[in-house]
Each structure stands twice: as structure tokens, then as C-alpha cells.
Structure 1
Amino acid sequence: MRPRRRWHRRRHSLQRSATPSNPGASHGLLSGLGVRLLGVDVGTGGNARGGRRPQRVIVVGAGAAGLTAANALTTAGVETVVLEARDRLGGRVWPEEVGGVPVDLGGAWIVGPSGNPVACVLNREGIGWQSAESLGGIVRGYDGVLHREMPESDLWSALAAVGQFEEACPELVAALGPNASLEEGFDAFLTKAGLSEPARRYAAFALHATFEGNEAESADRIALTPTTSEAFDEGGSHFPDGSFRGLITALARGVDVRLETIVSRVEYSEGGVSIETSNGTEHGSHVIVTVPLGVLKAGRIEFSPALPADKIEAIERLGMGDLEKVVLRYEQPFWPDPGANFLFYLGAQPGEFPLIVDYTSFAGGKPTLIALYCGAYRRAIADMPDAAIAARFAEVVAEIAGHEGAAPSSTHVTRWTSDPFAMGSYSYYRAGAGATAAERDTLGAPVGDQLLFAGEATSGEHYGYIHGAMLSGAREAERLLDERPGQGVVLESGLLVKEGCNEAAS
């Protein structure tokens, strides 16, 4: 749900292959992707773990992870049913029209399209994308305390501090210890830098806006200790043409999805699984649980037997972020240079709409602004009505423009944190919890042969990204199918999903 990360500890080069073991050749939506995650040379007998072959798989959740897994299983000939609590597909990928403009209210970015399964599926579907940097946009900063635009030199100096902090991070971790928060790291870095005002204030703002936006939480709650979540290397950040509706449509094609079916209990044993829902009980040989980490943390699904202690501990130690969006659709723009712009807003209240995306160029010229916010500010305004939050954002826009324009014709305010089927935006590492990528591996590990888990929070390398969710779903489908006799693992469109998709599958 976020733009490309820029922190060296979470970015750029992929340090480990996320490809599941024993990959081989196969066909299928994940084949033209060149994504060779799911096809393998098959043997005889059961799956790779020696369990019973999948006969009827229940997938809980129709987000990117669940749909990817279900599509692959269905294509391989396994009876698969997806149970989705909402009345729509996509989970935290939520394309919605706001005043006639398709906007992704959840996951919105293709983060490095080269080798990215998201881009590969879109390409196979004939759906293009636009670079967030390629449309001649302007990066601006506005100081809401001094009520003036930030001088360009001050803005770029502040943004340069982000890279300098990245370089200093290992030294800071060594000095502050494994339980230090990102906020403590910021303070130590800025103190050592010895910046005068307003340079220190601007640098502090840039650090908070960048990293809190990446991790979807306030810096005092985010761990400083280096972790790894990767974008793909090439091409920067992009928006899909017409939103991610095409991605979800492609992943759901041919898949049996039961909407408005709320799962309350999962029973599992060597004999199979029994899933209690609001519409009755479903039985199967295996279940893949793909609900968000926030839902697991809230205990909204009962497991019988109870989950192992190490998995419960992993759920507790990881954090669930709370990034939200406000969308304003205007009939006429009145702010400077409407187009593909990015605005940093330093408000009098910390964390107030720190990043504003001028989405006008991506919306076919229809004036549209999107603000992102999270953490302490999100909590401070959580009880405000949607209309009041949108009105406050409109006031900020008028302040930046230097005059009021007409009121927005349409608005939308997301509420991922209070959504009972999300309970947050995406996962992060909590300060003081001592969590590492090992907790994500534990979260994604199967319990016995019948109970499997997927979702962005289970990805040690790609957490928080749509492509991480897709890869996790493909991982669990492969776990069930990698030794299924005579089967290759592919999606309905003939594409294979795996990390890296530049060559066509054979």
C-alpha cells in the first residue's frame, strides 16, 4: 500500500531469492509472466511435505494473496473455494470511483515493474501503467507553521537527510541497541548532524514523512533495527492505468469465490479441515488463511486446535500499520501547476497529511488530490466524521494555493484501521518487540499439513507490497502442488507467478 521504499535496509537489490524450493518448468496467468514460481517437475505420491494431496482447498480471503493461490490451484485442477467476508473482491486492494475517477483506496503502486508479478499480470492483460516520476511533475514543500512554501533548496536539503540517515542507520543501531525505535534513531542522527533552524525542523519532517509513510505508523512505534522489505530494482514507482481493478479481475478469473461469507472458526486435523462461516460450514482437505495480520491479532478467527505458541508469538510481535487516505475530487483545479505533483506538507500538527499526491494527470486530467496519513495523527482524528476530515484536507489545499476554490465535488476517506476485515493497512516491525524476518517465516509456516498461511505479513522480503501478497499466495499453492503428478502450477490466463517474470514460461 505504499510507494517504493528508499531505506537501504529495506530496499533496492534483492538479497535473497524468495523463489520456493524445487522450481521447475510449467505453464499458465502466472506463464506469460515468465514467473516460474509455480511449475515444477512432479513426482508421485503426496505433496512435498509428505501430506495428503489437495482434494478440496478452502482459501480464506479474496485479496491478492488468496486470489493468486486459488487461481493457481484451480488451474491445476484442484477444487478450490474462496471465502470472502466482504461484498467485493480484492481485500486491501480496493479500486473505487470517486467522482468518476478510478482510485486505488488501498494498494496503489507498482513498485519496480521489472520482474514484478503485478506488472507481469497487467502486461498480460493489456493494461499499462504510468511512472510517478515521468509526467513532468513537481515536488514541492509547504510549511504550514510559517505559512509559506518551503524554499526549494531547503526542501531538497531536507530530503537529502533521508539518504544520510540511511547511511548512518547501522551505526545508530549499534549505538542504540536492538530495541531502539525509529524516533530514537532520528533524534540521535539529528543531534549529531548539528543542524540549525529551520534546517533541523525540515530534516526531521522529511524523515518522519518518508519512513512513517513507508511503515504506516508513528516513528516511536517502529523498530530501528534493520529489516528487509524489497521493491523490485528497475523502473521506480508506477500507477496502473484505470486502477488495479484489472489485476483483481485477472486473478479472480475462473475462481469460485463466495462473497459475504465471514469465517469465524477453523478446525483442522489429519482428516481435513472444517470452516465455520456466517453461511454454514465448509469442509476440505486443506485451508489457506490469507486474512490480514490485523485480523489475526484481533483474534477474529478461532483456530482448533489453537495455533502453536511460536505462531501466536509472531502475530503478537509484528505490528499492523494504520495508513489512511483522503481523496478530494474537484471540478476545477485552483492549486499551482495541477498535474502529476507530489507535495510535502509540514503542518502545525505533526503528521497532518504529510504527503499529498496530485493525481490529476493519472486521472485523465480530472482534478484529484490524495492525502496520506497515519500513526499519531490518524489516532487523533479517528473519531472525526469523514466529512470533517475531508473538509480539513480541503482547508490545507486552500492554504497551499493561497486562496479558496470551489468545494470538492466528491470525497472519500478510508477507514482501514476500523475495518473489521482488515484492522489496519499493512504490517511493520514494532519497536521493542525484537521481531525479525524470522517471525514472518513463522507466521507463514504451515501448521501440520492441512493449515497454511499467506499474505503480505508472511513475506520476509516483500511485506507491505501487493507483489509480496501475490508471491506468498503462489508460495502456498506451490507448497500443495509441487509434487502433484502431471500438474504444472499456473494461473488461468496461462501465466506463472514467481519473483522475476521476464521470460515466457514454456
Structure 2
Amino acid sequence: MRNTSGDFDIVVIGAGAAGLAAGKRLAASGLSFIILEARERIGGRAQTRVASGFPLDLGCGWLHSADRNPWTRIAAELGFTIDKTAPVWTRQSLDLGFSRQDQAAFSAASDAFYARLAAAEPEAGDFPAARLLEPGCRWNPLLNAGSAYMNGAELESVSVEDWKRYGDSHVNWRVVEGYGAAIAAFGASLPIRLGCAVTLVDHAGASIALDTSQGRVTAEAVIVTVPPPLIAGEATAFTPALRDKLSAAAVLPLGLADKLIMTVDAPDLPAGGHLFGNPDATATGSYQLRPFGRPLIEGFFGGRLAHELEAAGPGAFFDFACGELGRLFGGGFAARLALLSETAWARDPWSRGAYSHALPGHSDARAKLAAPVDERLFFAGEACSKHDFSTAHGAYLTGLEAAERAVAARARRQR
């Protein structure tokens, strides 16, 4: 393969939140580096697209644990507007298909479920979270839907021990101009090569050779920030093979959560309101009404339902939402909706899903995926985070840590 622009001290694979955080740290180190990104844009699973004049977050959209989330400060320093309005995900803003009495009963069932989750003892083993459901409880389908939204997978596929470790301050804010736009602005000045997919990392020799879609790049060290499915499927392969990484990535799949954004002609809807499409079903949408007061409805779909609707093709999310919302508001309501945008993260070849969850019995896989190899290969991304997985801030913190480790390792080699 043709050689590109020579050797680097460090190469970063991936320009998502983790790769950009690593790049910022490397830029301050004085070392030579490049970020190689397979997509024709930066941001990874953070992406803001403007449609009908509105910035739409197609990937991550909430500053989770916003009071300690580094992106909150970064976005504000870059001039973005932080909306501190609290979300209302867990309750129905309108008494449609979900009475106040039923909402109170669901809230009690939810509190009890999460109390059982918090109280689960390690001695009981790492079992599927579905075992924590109360047998016969009417609200089990909606609790399962909640897992599909949060984990991208239903409870039977989620490790209890891994989920327990998630750190949540329960403060959730938004970036008015787009979370994805803020992350892209953060990385705009970094040296990034777009459309440059890394297919092989050969770490057998004194220097590491990376085969890419634009030629060969060599480096002393590499920071890998690609999602687990690309490692498990060897879209980015290693020689010598890293069997521990392959096995860890295989049990940290990306669950699926997709978004549908529609325009709506209904100014009487509560701004920032929320509806469940069908509170008695797992296969249901979660709908945010008029986010930021805009004439939009943002639908959220997770787990098996999201996979089924992606497989059904373009427009399937919209048709499903029109059916659910039509049943709530009346048949004529669908005529007031128009499709603006829908995602298909499972079909994205550079992510193959939305965010990671550990399969039952594999709660320790994150540490295995994150562990450096020979002080030359370093790994980052939300799947490597023990407490902040599935978030952009978890990706950021692991990218920063990987870069710190890479810089320190090089300093040791230079002694």
C-alpha cells in the first residue's frame, strides 16, 4: 500500500467523542499525531443535522449527569446554549391512554424494580436483569421498554452487575444548538483524516503499521476508539490477534435506540411534554412533545422494536408513530404529522448500533476491553467506561485517560 504522510508518534482511530478527547490531550503534549476517521464527518454517534431550520440530534441528545459531565462546560465555553429544563421521560404529560392512577402504580413498580436492582448482591452472580421483575406485574412490559430505551436491549439481555455500576446524578440537560454540533465544534481544529477506515493494526514490529483505505500509516502507539462490533467482527483487525479483545467486544454489543423526528401542527401540545405510545407494551415509542417549544415530536424506539422497524425500511418508524399517536389523539391526528428525520444506527457500518450493554455474566468485560496492550495499544470509547458507559461523557473520559496513558508510556520509552 502507498505510504501516506509518514510516521506519527501516536495514531488515534476514530473521531467520535473518545477520539476527539484523546486528540485534544495529544495536541497539548507536543507529540505528532493524526486521527483517522472512517466517516466523512467527525462526531461518531453524536450527530446534529439541520432540517427545516431546526438542529436535530440524531445520536446522543442529552447531557446525562450534566452537573458533572465535561461536555456541559465544553459546550458552554464554545458558545452553545445549555437548556436546564428537566426532562419528563417517566410520566405522561397528557391523560391519554395512561390515567393518573395508572401512572402512580407504574411509578411505584418502577421504584420497586430499581430498589431491587440496587440491592442485588454480587454473591448471587451476574444474572439477567429480567429476573428482578415481579412475576405477573402489569407494568413489566413498560419496565422492559425502559430498558430498551436506556440500554438498547430488553432486560433479559442486560447484566445486573454492569447496570448497577452505572453512575447517574439524575441531572439531564440539553444543548439547544445540538449536542452533536458541540462535539464537532470541539474537534474542528484537530488533525483528522476523513474517509479513512483502518482495516488492520499490525503491532508485530518495532513500529505499528496501520492499513487504511487511504494507504499505510505507521506509529509508535495507537489509541483505538472504534465501537465493540467493529472489533468483534474484525472490521478493524489486529495482528498478532488480540483474542482477549475480541471476546470482550463480543459480550459488549451495541444495543439499538433510534430516533424519529416529525413536524406537528398542534401548538396546543405542552412544550417539553412526554407520552408513551402504549404503556401496556414493550414494543412502544416514547414521544417528547415540542422539544425546546419547537413544532416537533421526537420519537424514541429501542431494542427489538427498533430492529424490526429498521428492517422494515424507510418510513416504518413514522408509520408506527402515526398509528400510536393516532390511537391516543384520534384518527385525524396523523394528518397533522410529517416525517422530518429518522435514524437507522444498526445499519450504520461504523457503529452497528447505538450504545453498549454488557451481556449477563460479563460485567467485567469493560475493563478487559479497556486494558492497554504492551504499552503501545490503548483502547477508549463509551464501552470501555465502567461507570459512564452508553454516554458521550463516558467516551470523553476514556479517551482522555487513554491519551494520558499513551503519553506517559512514550515518556517511559524515551528514558
SS of the aligned residue for 2:21 comes to helix
Change (3 A) 1:88 1:280: same
Q: Distance in 2 between matches of 1:374 and 1:122?
A: 27
1:26-37 to 2 correspondence within 5 Å? Answer: none
SS of the aligned residue for 1:86 comes to coil
1:357-376 to 2 correspondence within 5 Å? Answer: 357-358=288-289, 360-362=290-292, 365-376=293-304
Change (3 A) 1:226 1:248: closer
Q: Is the 8 A contact 1:216 1:425 kept in 2?
A: yes
Q: 1:310 aligned to 2:310?
A: no
Q: Distance in 2 between matches of 1:400 and 1:219?
A: 27
1:19-30 to 2 correspondence within 5 Å? Answer: none
Q: Is the 8 A contact 1:74 1:254 kept in 2?
A: no
Offset at residue 394 of structure 1 (A): 2.1
Q: After superposition, give the CA deviation of every residue in 1:106-164 in whole Å (9 maximum; x if it has no partner).
A: 11111122232111111221322113427x99931789xxxx52111211220221111
Q: 1:473 aligned to 2:409?
A: no
Q: 1:399 aligned to 2:331?
A: no
Q: After superposition, give the CA deviation of every residue in 1:408-453 in whole Å (9 maximum; x if it has no partner).
A: 344222111121100111110213xx112x3211101111122111
Q: 1:99 aligned to 2:52?
A: yes
Q: 1:75 aligned to 2:43?
A: no
User: What letter is aligned with 2:106?
Assistant: A
* Equivalent of 2:131 in 184, 195, 201: 184
Change (3 A) 1:174 1:55: closer
Structure 2 stretches lacking a partner, 5+ long: 1-6
Which TM-score applies when normalising by structure 1?
A: 0.74
Q: Is the 8 A contact 1:263 1:278 kept in 2?
A: yes
Structure 1 stretches lacking a partner, 5+ long: 1-53, 192-199, 486-506
Q: 1:210 aligned to 2:146?
A: yes
Q: After superposition, give the CA deviation of every residue in 1:158-193 in whole Å (9 maximum; x if it has no partner).
A: 022111112223666689x5353222321xx245xx
Offset at residue 484 of structure 1 (A): 7.2
* Equivalent of 2:375 in 411, 434, 449: 449
2:103 matched residue in structure 1: 155
Q: Distance in 2 between matches of 1:218 and 1:248?
A: 29
Deviates more, 1:208-217 or 1:66-75: 208-217
Q: 1:346 aligned to 2:278?
A: yes
SS of the aligned residue for 1:209 comes to helix
2:313 matched residue in structure 1: 385
SS of the aligned residue for 1:380 comes to helix
Change (3 A) 1:84 1:368: same
Q: 1:408 aligned to 2:337?
A: yes
Q: 1:219 aligned to 2:146?
A: no
1:100-499 to 2 correspondence within 5 Å? Answer: 100-133=53-86, 139-140=91-92, 149-169=97-117, 177-178=124-125, 180-186=127-133, 189-191=134-136, 200-201=137-138, 203-225=139-161, 227-231=163-167, 233=169, 236-269=171-204, 271-307=206-242, 309-330=243-264, 332-333=265-266, 337-346=269-278, 350-353=282-285, 355-358=286-289, 360-362=290-292, 365-405=293-333, 406-431=335-360, 434-436=361-363, 438-482=364-408
1:9-28 to 2 correspondence within 5 Å? Answer: none
Q: Distance in 2 between matches of 1:165 and 1:212?
A: 15
User: What letter is aligned with 1:426?
Assistant: Y
Offset at residue 59 of structure 1 (A): 0.8
SS of the aligned residue for 1:326 comes to strand
Offset at residue 347 of structure 1 (A): 6.5
Aligned residues: 404
Q: Is the 8 A contact 1:55 1:285 kept in 2?
A: yes
Offset at residue 387 of structure 1 (A): 1.6
Q: Distance in 2 between matches of 1:255 and 1:178?
A: 44
Offset at residue 78 of structure 1 (A): 1.5
Q: Distance in 1 between matches of 2:213 and 2:398?
A: 27
User: What letter is aligned with 2:362?
Assistant: A
Q: After superposition, give the CA deviation of every residue in 1:297-334 in whole Å (9 maximum; x if it has no partner).
A: 22211111111x3322212222321111111123x227
Q: Distance in 1 between matches of 2:196 and 2:115?
A: 48
User: What letter is aligned with 1:343?
Assistant: L
User: What letter is aligned with 1:130?
Assistant: D
Change (3 A) 1:356 1:476: same
Change (3 A) 1:348 1:461: closer
Q: Is the 8 A contact 1:84 1:262 kept in 2?
A: yes
Q: Distance in 2 between matches of 1:372 and 1:361?
A: 13
Q: Distance in 2 between matches of 1:100 and 1:252?
A: 24
SS of the aligned residue for 1:346 comes to coil
Offset at residue 376 of structure 1 (A): 2.0
Q: Distance in 2 between matches of 1:389 and 1:299?
A: 31
Offset at residue 474 of structure 1 (A): 0.2
1:6 matched residue in structure 2: none
Q: Is the 8 A contact 2:231 2:245 kept in 1?
A: no
Offset at residue 260 of structure 1 (A): 0.9
SS of the aligned residue for 1:421 comes to coil
Offset at residue 75 of structure 1 (A): 2.5
User: What letter is aligned with 1:425?
Assistant: A
SS of the aligned residue for 1:333 comes to coil
C-alpha RMSD over aligned residues? 2.6
Offset at residue 366 of structure 1 (A): 2.6
Offset at residue 261 of structure 1 (A): 1.1
Q: Is the 8 A contact 1:142 1:400 kept in 2?
A: no
Q: Is the 8 A contact 2:142 2:282 kept in 1?
A: no
